[in-house]
Amino acid sequence: MSPAPSSTLARHWIPERSLLSDAGLVIAFSLFTGLMAHIAIPLPFTPVPITGQTFAVLLCGALLGARLGAASMLLYITEGLVGLPVFAVAAGSFSYGYLAGFVAAAFVVGWFADRGWTRELPSTIVAMLAGEVAIYFFGLLWLAHLVPEAEVLAFGLFPFLIGDAIKLAAAAAVLPAGWRLSRPR
């Protein structure tokens, strides 16, 4: 099944695809993710802070689709690697796995969005839950190399579940609302 021309909300709002519009969207969401990284709450019992990044990543995939969403997260990581202040402050390399998870999550959520899953709240939640699983998979896999095995979930999962549920709910509410506010084309 091929996706509809306006399967993502960004494509609905900007139906004429061009290299310039795609590049602009990729850059905009990479910078938005960097901005959201600075909404951070350090926790004294874990080296991984609570940030606004997951909100941005979920929206990125849902709005841009798999290809552009993943490209935006790759650009975001590149911006940080060249020294731009776009990463959340975390001790050492504790967040590397989560960063890899951002690329996977944007792709996964975008894959669902490309197939029209972000038009209604229940299916948007499913798509974004799949994205959260991708973030946690890579984040916890990396964290397992840095902390004792018995502490991986305590450091990298449990403290973040409530906050991520709130961010997911906020991001998921944006998409169906955006579709309803859009004029039919």
Q: In the chain, which residues have pLDDT < 70?
A: 1-6, 9-15, 90-92, 94, 179-185
Q: Give the end-to-end CA distance of the chain in Å, rounded to a whole number.
A: 21
Write down the pLDDT at residue 184. Answer: 54
Let me know: does 167 contact 135? Beta carbons within 8 Å: no
Write down the pLDDT at residue 125. Answer: 94
| Model confidence, pTM | 0.87
Write down the pLDDT at residue 2. Answer: 42
What b/e string do you get for 70-85 counting C-beta neighbours within 10 Å, with b at 16 or more? bbbbbbbbebbeeeee
Region of residue 70 (phi > 0: left; psi between -120 and 50: alpha; otherwise: beta):
alpha
CATH class of the structural domain 9-180: mainly alpha
Let me know: does 53 contact 61? Beta carbons within 8 Å: no
For the chain, domain boundaries? 9-180
Could you tell me which residues are beta bridge partners of residue 51? 40
CA distances from 15 to 4, 34, 142, 169 (A): 11, 26, 39, 27
